[in-house]
Amino acid sequence: DVKVTQSSRYLVKRTGEKVFLECVQDMDHENMFWYRQDPGLGLRLIYFSYDVKMKEKGDIPEGYSVSREKKERFSLILESASTNQTSMYLCASSLGGGRSGNTIYFGEGSWLTVV
Amino acid sequence: GQNIDQPTEMTATEGAIVQINCTYQTSGFNGLFWYQQHAGEAPTFLSYNVLDGLEEKGRFSSFLSRSKGYSYLLLKELQMKDSASYLCAGGYNKLIFGAGTRLAVHP
């Protein structure tokens, strides 16, 4: 089974703090993703990475950065957290290579509250 | 552009059949996915269609028509535990998700 693990399930941070969300997958997947999910807006892609040290902006990258130093690990960074970044953050990975390799597997999610 | 549309909410009765529709416009296409998401949990993979037609997997089936940009998820013999959101997703090297259809199953 694919296992995608997010380091923190629930976090509460103060406005202006730097926040790190860590994600690890154990299936040697090429692609990794960070989404956020908000009521009525669905899942929105923040950043994705298709290889180590490679990253591409998704639909809503503003206020976020990412790091992929190792294949299995993909970190999401909020340089200066703001209240509008209160959300559920979902990390995901996929094998890559097209077709069914695009099947995305999600971690359990991280609920971030910025106060 | 990329756009995926599905109804916001549906209700159904235990034991019945329900069909959740999805229409999509994506700049590239590499299959259409359906995910199930229970409240407070992460989405889990249900089905994947890359060719036209119906794929059956137990009580769940998924249909795709590429020429019409249309898919549906069919749930048979509904159970209370099927109450969840159902997400349609498509795209090429990255998946774009619809906002999800919240299904409520009543006794």
**Over its length of 115 residues, how does chain A's per-residue pLDDT go in tens digits?**
668 999 889 999 999 999 999 999 999 999 999 999 998 888 999 999 999 989 999 999 999 999 999 999 999 999 999 999 999 999 999 987 666 667 889 999 999 999 9
Q: Are strands B84-90 and B18-25 parallel, antiparallel or unpaired?
A: unpaired
Contact A43 B48 (CB under 8 A): no
Q: Are strands B60-65 and B53-57 parallel, antiparallel or unpaired?
A: antiparallel
Q: CB-CB: which of B42, B89, B92 is closest to A108? A: B42
Each residue's pLDDT tens digit, B11-51: 999 999 999 999 998 666 778 999 999 998 999 999 999 89
Residue type, B61: S
Chain A, chain B: beta-carbon pairs less than 8 Å apart: 55
> B96: pLDDT confidence band, cut at 50, 70 and 90?
confident
What per-residue confidence (pLDDT) applies to B62?
Answer: 97
Angle at the Cα of A3 from the Cα atoms of A50 and A77, rounded to 5 degrees: 55
Kindly list the residues from chain A whose CB atom is less than 8 angstroms away from the CB atom of residue B100.
Answer: 42
CA-CA distance, B103 to B83, in Å (whole number)?
Answer: 5
* SS3 assignment, position A70: strand
CA-CA distance, A49 to A92, in Å (whole number)?
Answer: 10
What per-residue confidence (pLDDT) applies to B13?
Answer: 97
Kindly list the residues from chain A whose CB atom is less than 8 angstroms away from the CB atom of residue B96.
Answer: 45
CB atoms under 10 Å from CB of A26, counted, come to: 12
Interface test with A, best of B94, B96, B97, B101 (most A CBs within 10 A): B94
Contact A106 B43 (CB under 8 A): yes
What per-residue confidence (pLDDT) applies to B95?
Answer: 82
Q: Any bridge partners for residue A64, and if so which? A: A78
Kindly list the residues from chain A whose CB atom is less than 8 angstroms away from the CB atom of residue B92.
Answer: 102
Q: How far is residue A32 CA from its own chain's centroid?
A: 8
pLDDT > 60? residue B1: no
What per-residue confidence (pLDDT) applies to A90?
Answer: 97
Nearest-Cα distance to chain A for B24, in Å, is 15
> B7: pLDDT confidence band, cut at 50, 70 and 90?
very high
What per-residue confidence (pLDDT) applies to A75?
Answer: 97
Q: Any bridge partners for residue A75, and if so which? A: A67
Q: Give counts: helices (H), strands (E), chain B.
A: 0, 11
